[in-house]
Amino acid sequence: MFQPGLKGVIAAKSSISYINGAKGQLVYRGFAANEIALRFSFEEAAHLLWYGKLPNDKEREVMENKLKTKRELPIYIQRMIDLLPENIDMMGVIRTAVSALGNSRFSWKPTVDQAIELTAMIPTIIAYRQRKLAGQEPIEPNLYYNHVENYLYMLSGQIPSSIHVKGLETYMILTLEHGMNASTFSARVTASTESDLVSAITSAIGTMKGPLHGGAPSDVTKMLNDIEKKENAERWLKEKLERGERLMGFGHRVYKTKDPRAIALRTKALEIGKDDPWLSLALYVEETAIRLLEEYKPGRKLYTNVEFYAAALMRSLQIEDELFTPTFTAARVVGWSAHVIEQAKHNVLFRPESYYIGDLPKTR
């Protein structure tokens, strides 16, 4: 049976995550993802996805230490990043640097230790490149800081506040994993050939780079920048809807009710920026947009998705627009690697067929 884009086709069995779009559920290994994001650390959430259970105190300490000790970039990776032209975007840099990490340590079969190493290094790759582009000296990873705290520290050079750390940590936990999305499928297809983990993650990064997958938060920022102030919101949104254009940050291919990730992220964004004019504008636009969407597209059930509040949160944390998708990538590598490890346990090569619609040789 032909299904464009394989829509609705079940390609694998997985115990990593479950999505119920009708009920607005996202489950990580039996736990509600929004509860994990609000109650646990990045390290604990990663342990859950990789090992199938939340860690005890000793296991959490081991996970934290492993992530801390694998952050430093090899000198050859630093030099390679230095040689890349400035017009190569950050996702291209991450893809190139991660690909260059491939060596005998990452041979088949994939392991959690390999996944930890890649997860630890990607934030360092991002921060190293970002500071170099800004004409600033890169900042060495700090072994005293947790994973998310260290990422913010390497970007800014300043000790981040605990509320900012938890805000970004909430976002990164909520984006760790989301079922058989395009980039996860790409990683599993590559892994199914018994290629190494680095190759599978490189495939996923290349897929995430596409604007239909990883670029939505920056589009929300552009929308809010264009609206500029509350009194412009209704007119601007109506013009978009009347032209049949999409409102960025609203609606989701899977969720037909409120995105559970958006609910958790909204809670955290409000804690960070209660008096932030940008957040105040975002709240007003959200309220106005949902009312207008119901008016212009009745019955479509279009609600705020995670990208909308990701944009509001990132702006509050002063993270640049060009780092939205890379930061998403720094989180999603956990889910990708969990899927690759799962694929390897009962591997079957992905080999779909295509339906030929071209010409055939003419018979004489």
Give the residue numbers annotated as catalytic, written as ranges: 252, 307
Under 8 Å between Cβ of 314 and 279: no
User: Distance between CA atoms of 57 and 119, rounded to whole angstroms?
Assistant: 21
Under 8 Å between Cβ of 279 and 312: yes
**Residue 108 DSSP SS3:** coil
Which helix (H) or strand (E) segment holds residue 153: the answer is helix 147-156
User: Distance between CA atoms of 128 and 120, rounded to whole angstroms?
Assistant: 13
Residue with tokens 């994993």: 177
User: Distance between CA atoms of 204 and 198, rounded to whole angstroms?
Assistant: 10
Query: What are the backbone dihedrals phi and psi of residue 177, each rounded to the nearest 5 degrees, phi first?
Result: -160, 140
The residues that bridge with 27 in the sheet, in sequence order, are 18, 32
User: Distance between CA atoms of 120 and 31, rounded to whole angstroms?
Assistant: 24
